[in-house]
């Protein structure tokens, strides 16, 4: 079995790419919006007749929701994915993804990450603060996210980056 043609016009790729660029710049609201758009474009293909394709498109759409911080929407789609019906190329990626989605869709997720950030701030572990923000960019408001990044960069002596954020 091989992968289906995922898209003819590249619209989902274009939307996901715009989201990825926004996320890299710290513009999380725009990233969320464009990943959501990519997810919706892919979700329109779930009605495809081949079973494995249906589940692939669910997985792909859930991935875009996840990357956009829309974890509950991702979870909703994940629950309808049957792992055994996914194409072999991507099946191995699903269990970890489902686990990550469940963890981030949990009500305690944001509180837990904020507490971890606070602990890192208290201990002045600046590199780890930046890594934590890379992993969980949607937990904070964009202004606070930018401030924390600037603060950590300044403490690390990375003044050009501190000034940019």
Sites of contact with another protein (CB under 8 A): 1-3, 5-10, 12-14, 16-18, 20-21, 23-26, 38, 42, 59-60, 63-64, 66-67, 87-90, 93-94, 96-97, 100-101, 130-131, 133-135, 137, 149, 153, 158, 160-161, 164-165
Give CA separation, 121 vs 28, 55, 154, in Å. Answer: 22, 41, 13
Of 82 and 131, the one with the shorter C-beta distance to another protein is 131
- Closer residue to another protein in complex, CB, 93/144: 93
Q: How far is the CB of 70 from another protein (least distance, A)?
A: 13
* Euclidean distance between CA atoms 5 and 98, whole angstroms: 24
Residue in this structure with the two tokens 């590199």, named with its chain if needed: 127
Residue 34 · residue 15 · CB < 8 Å: yes
Shortest reach from residue 54's CB to another protein, in Å:
15
Among the residues of 44-108, which ranges form H helices?
Answer: 51-67, 71-78, 88-91, 94-105
- Least gap, CB of 87 to another protein (angstroms): 7
Residue 133 token pair: 């923000």
Q: Give, for 41, the enclosing helix (H) or strand (E).
A: helix 28-43
What is the smallest separation between the CB atom of 152 and another protein, expressed in angstroms? 8
Closer Cβ to another protein, 13 or 51, answer by number: 13
Identity of the residue, 7 or 110, whose beta carbon is nearer to another protein in the bound complex: 7
φ, ψ for residue 19 (rounded to 5)?
A: -65, -45
Closest approach of another protein to the CB of residue 91, in Å: 10
């Amino acid at each position: 079995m091989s992968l289906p043609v995922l898209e003819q016009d590249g619209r989902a790729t274009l939307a996901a790419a715009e989201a990825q660029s926004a996320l890299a710049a710290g513009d999380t609201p725009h990233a969320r919006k464009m990943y959501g758009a990519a997810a919706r474009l892919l979700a329109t293909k779930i009605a495809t007749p081949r079973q494995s394709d249906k589940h692939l498109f669910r997985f792909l759409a859930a991935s875009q929701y996840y990357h956009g911080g829309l974890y509950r929407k991702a979870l909703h789609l994940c629950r309808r994915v049957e792992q055994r019906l996914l194409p072999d190329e991507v099946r191995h990626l699903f269990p970890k993804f489902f686990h990550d989605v469940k963890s981030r869709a949990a009500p305690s997720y944001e509180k837990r990450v904020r507490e971890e950030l606070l602990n890192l701030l208290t201990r002045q572990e600046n590199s780890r603060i930046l890594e934590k923000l890379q992993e969980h960019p949607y937990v904070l408001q964009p202004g606070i996210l930018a401030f924390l990044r600037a603060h950590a960069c300044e403490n690390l002596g990375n003044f050009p980056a501190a000034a940019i954020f």
